[in-house]
Structure 1
Amino acid sequence: MQNTDLRSYVKKHPDNKMAWYLLGKEYLGEGQEAKANYCFQQAGEVYEAFERSKAPADIWMDYQEKLVEVSEQKEKKRRKRKMWLTLLMFLLLAGLPPADAPGANRGAADALSEALESEDDMPDGMPAKEQRGASQASVEQNNVFTAAGFGNGNDGGTALAAAWSESGAGVKTTAVLGMQTAKTWYIWKRDMPVKYIMQTNQKGKLTAQSYDAKQCNCKPPEVSSKIKRMALSWTSKQETAAALSSAIISYHKQHKAWPKSVTALAQPFPNNILGETSAEMSDMFPELLAMSQAKTQAVERGAADIGRTQAAELSKGKKAPFADTLGGQPFLEKPLEIVIDKSNHRLALISGSTIVRMYEVGLGGERTPEGSYVITDKVVNPNGHSNGEFGSRGMQLSNTNYAIHGTNEPDSIGLDESLGCVRMSKADVEELFALAPQGTPVRIGKNLLPELTSVPKSEQRYKYKLVPQQNNPNKTYHWLN
């Protein structure tokens, strides 16, 4: 019998002196005399009786076999519970209501907390130094974040399943942030609330805590200010990564080659693929470049799944730029796109099914064309004016006479008063200019987006260092404003 089974048994039955004695014999056989002596002390008179009488081995072997039988029964029960949990997670992923699985009528976090609460390896009475094995100072805390949709039947099951599958040795805290859902869309925000925190301690014990009163039907504790600050930093970082990785892809499409640095993406007009840069971009550039290369090569070979696996392998290691992201890769993995809905005067910057920003815009009614375009020219202060008819930023659509730009008529936002262009407020167009690289696809149509807005507070706007010389003094724009 392995002493791990005996340790678990002794923890549950600390008064069983024979179990303490058998555990001591196991440790003695492994040469761990200190642990063996402690166990013999707990065994007391049983140790004295067996050691002095030199009882035949078959007497205590028979007793040990009974303990083995008890331990195996517990192990089967543990495996069964884990099997049910796995089934529950798969059903959550599939969006199906689990009918008979334990915990089916509770939230996913409740099921996780009950089903995965592992037994500690060492007995309660073991000295603290023996319990830890290594000093607490030697254990590094690993804080990881992800996000998931909540609402419209979503309860974060996908993220919880991913967090569970990545749990293992080492101290780890995984926070799941909640995205609002709207039909098939997930709404990204800078200050998304923490919905769950899953923790693994140095013994491998996994627990889950819900911070959503509606989900857990309870009064949850307060999320620490430290976690909130880290969450804000994480969401900001994901937006930076989305802009940079989209710029890398745009560069490759334009030049049929890969950029060698962030500087290659942040040149003066007309090579200003990026509108703004940050110091953080230089740190994440090598990994994002390698990921983009792996995915592109895999798609060309018709093996996109392999490309994603290769990209994941590139992101391993505690010092990797996305070690704080569940899965080790950027959360907003799909290239950025712009969707403009003429039905409700909305412009959304999206990554896959996630709406990163949603602005209210001014349009031209039927004069605004429908179809697919890309951002070509990106211009700061079109025609040399920051307060002119095109505002402080302009983004031309596929070399046409249409553009997304600012306006000196802010009251026209939400109305159909332009000759076809897309008007935005100053703060909105400057943020979009910084986020959306040159080459970003633009789709214009009707009934494409939900009727809401998602704009950060002014202090949380995406704003970094403006790339110099992004004006174009050699051209006068005649967009259909």
Structure 2
Amino acid sequence: MDKISFLQEKSAFHMKYPEKSDLSFYRWYTQQHPDEAIGWYYLGQAHETLGDTQQALAAYRQSLFAKQGPYYDEARDAYQKLLRAQKRQDWRSRVRLLLASLAFLYALFVFSPGLLQDGTPVASTQPPAVPPSTPALAQPHVEVIAVPSTLGPKELQNQVRRYVEARRPPLTQPYTVLVVPEVPGSPLFTPLLFYQPKQVLGVLKYNPTSRAVISQRWFDSPASLEAEATLATVRDDLASEQQTLQHVLTLRNALFRYYQQKGALPASLADLAGSYPGNYLPQIPLPPKRLLLASYPYHPHAFRSGSAWASLRDVLPLPGYPEPLSPLAPLQIRLAQKSHTLQLVSGTHLVRSYPAAIGKNGSTPEGYYTILQKINKPRGHDNIYGTRGLIFQGNSYAIHGTNNPKSIGTSVSLGCVRLFNAAVEELYSFVSLGTEFIISDAPSPAQPWSNPAPFILAAGPEEETPNTVYTWLH
């Protein structure tokens, strides 16, 4: 709803209820239109004017769950501004309390006839030294790049050699490049972080320090990566790196969305794996064994609100591997209705691609949404919602599984988005509450993407809602 329509509703409300205040209208409006950010923004403004900081913060925070529209950005900015002001006020209160305490202790010292001692040694007030976390061992880095199908063998080798020599920023450890056939719709000579090659044209190991090719092997025709025994080590190295990247991306996205909604990072990663409705993640992933880490390092003190996403590289570093040349970005779900394709992306990186079923007769709403709730084993007659559900609008629209896998790829629902159960379980593992979801009717061909090995974080009973039977537009 635009501002003009909003003001017209306000005028009509006051004509009908002349004795009621603007605050009453804003409360009524947000009850009638909970997905409109403009109502929550003005409700927050009204509470802030009255000095009700907590009520204002609650209203602004609720706007973060609304759909993109008028005053969405303004409400988010007002929330952050008020949160910072409250923190400054809290800090000033603590300083005043500390000064008052020091003044009291000083008065006791000055007017006391003498110090009383019991002979017990005074304990050190220095905080115990925190041992630095053990860094992960540097792991073999593997890059997957696609090349044009028009290149001859000699030109292909020359182009790949130019790629490794010109790579910026430079790496210091030797790394491996897997050269694969062109992937339609994907960039050429660019690392495909989350692509699982089926065929390979060549493999090259390069030392960027000495600028020398350590080893290389080229195939006369595309070879099977799975069947080629000599590539077993490279295949395992790639799988481990992809697993680590997925873990770190999932955790950073959850931390970012947590900060967007609550204004601060959690005290520990474990706080992300709460019970419904605070289940940002089902559980916290553990690093691959080869990293020799008990858990992923977490340094919330390194967070900088002015560059929230960028600072997460320091808050939760990528252990054992170099940061991607093209930076990771917060996760985003995109649905291209014409191709019945749902994609999970991180900036320029395609993370996953799934076939989907959508609403018939245009009943799946286009627009900008966020994941509002995540439910494990959502109840519905005949298990129509499959094994997972992610609500993105009101109580009617969700991304969910299905008991009718044959419907995937068609337009048959009443508005919801259906995925295979295995796909929705993986999406549920990746995305947190607050993750953006964009639905578009723009033409977008189904990309022939090859997903890596499934990434599943087991969901538990604390994420179920056994007393709720959902009536989503399945």
Q: TM-score range by the shorter chain?
A: 0.5 to 0.7
* Structure 2: distance between partners of 1:338 and 1:255: 22
SS of aligned partner of 1:228: helix
Change (3 A) 1:162 1:242: farther
Equivalent pairs: percent with the same residue?
24
* Structure 1: distance between partners of 2:163 and 2:461: 40
* Structure 2: distance between partners of 1:152 and 1:335: 32
2:386–2:402 CA contact under 8 A, matched in 1: yes
* Structure 2: distance between partners of 1:283 and 1:428: 26
Matched letter for residue 259 of structure 2: H
* Structure 2: distance between partners of 1:153 and 1:373: 41
2:183–2:448 CA contact under 8 A, matched in 1: no
Residue of structure 2 equivalent to 1:398: 393
User: Under a length normalisation based on structure 2, what TM-score does the superposition of the two structures give?
Assistant: 0.57
SS of aligned partner of 2:389: strand
1:239–1:332 CA contact under 8 A, matched in 2: no
1:388–1:408 CA contact under 8 A, matched in 2: yes
Matched letter for residue 284 of structure 1: Y
Residue of structure 2 equivalent to 1:368: 364
Residue of structure 2 equivalent to 1:469: 462
Deviation at 1:286, TM superposition (A): 1.3
Q: 1:197 aligns with which of 199, 204, 211?
A: 204
Residue of structure 2 equivalent to 1:272: 279
1:148–1:156 CA contact under 8 A, matched in 2: no
Q: Do structure 1's residue 246 and structure 2's residue 256 form an aligned pair?
A: no
2:376–2:460 CA contact under 8 A, matched in 1: no
Residue of structure 2 equivalent to 1:36: none
Q: Do structure 1's residue 437 and structure 2's residue 432 form an aligned pair?
A: yes
2:353–2:451 CA contact under 8 A, matched in 1: no
Residue of structure 2 equivalent to 1:17: none
Deviations 1:362-421 (Å, cap 9, x if unpaired)?
Answer: 111301111111111100111278x61111110000335111001112211111110010
Residue of structure 2 equivalent to 1:144: 141
SS of aligned partner of 1:437: coil
Q: Do structure 1's residue 410 and structure 2's residue 405 form an aligned pair?
A: yes
Change (3 A) 1:188 1:354: same
Change (3 A) 1:152 1:258: farther
Change (3 A) 1:199 1:396: same
Q: 2:344 aligns with which of 337, 341, 349?
A: 349
Change (3 A) 1:335 1:225: same
* Structure 2: distance between partners of 1:438 and 1:156: 41
Deviations 1:78-137 (Å, cap 9, x if unpaired)?
Answer: xxxxxxxxxxxxxxxxxxxxxxxxxxxxxxxxxxxxxxxxxxxxxxxxxxxxxxxxxxxx
Deviations 1:184-223 (Å, cap 9, x if unpaired)?
Answer: 666832457675534339x94622655554899xxxx985
Change (3 A) 1:465 1:402: closer
Residue of structure 1 equivalent to 2:378: 382
2:357–2:417 CA contact under 8 A, matched in 1: yes
How many correspondences in the alignment? 314
Residue of structure 2 equivalent to 1:256: 263
SS of aligned partner of 2:372: strand
Change (3 A) 1:360 1:198: same
Residue of structure 2 equivalent to 1:160: 164
Matched letter for residue 268 of structure 1: S
* Structure 1: distance between partners of 2:301 and 2:184: 34
* Structure 2: distance between partners of 1:237 and 1:331: 17
Residue of structure 2 equivalent to 1:283: 295
Matched letter for residue 184 of structure 2: A
* Structure 2: distance between partners of 1:225 and 1:268: 40
In structure 2, stretches of 5+ residues that fail to align are 1-136, 152-158, 223-227, 289-293
2:339–2:443 CA contact under 8 A, matched in 1: no
SS of aligned partner of 1:283: coil
Residue of structure 2 equivalent to 1:6: none
Deviation at 1:268, TM superposition (A): 0.7
* Structure 1: distance between partners of 2:392 and 2:307: 30
Residue of structure 1 equivalent to 2:184: 182
In structure 1, stretches of 5+ residues that fail to align are 1-139
Residue of structure 2 equivalent to 1:207: 213
Q: 2:471 aligns with which of 469, 474, 478?
A: 478
Q: Which has the larger radius of gyration?
A: 1
* Structure 2: distance between partners of 1:253 and 1:158: 42
* Structure 2: distance between partners of 1:440 and 1:192: 30
SS of aligned partner of 1:478: coil
SS of aligned partner of 2:472: coil
Matched letter for residue 265 of structure 1: L
SS of aligned partner of 1:279: coil
Question: CA RMSD for the aligned pairs?
Answer: 3.8
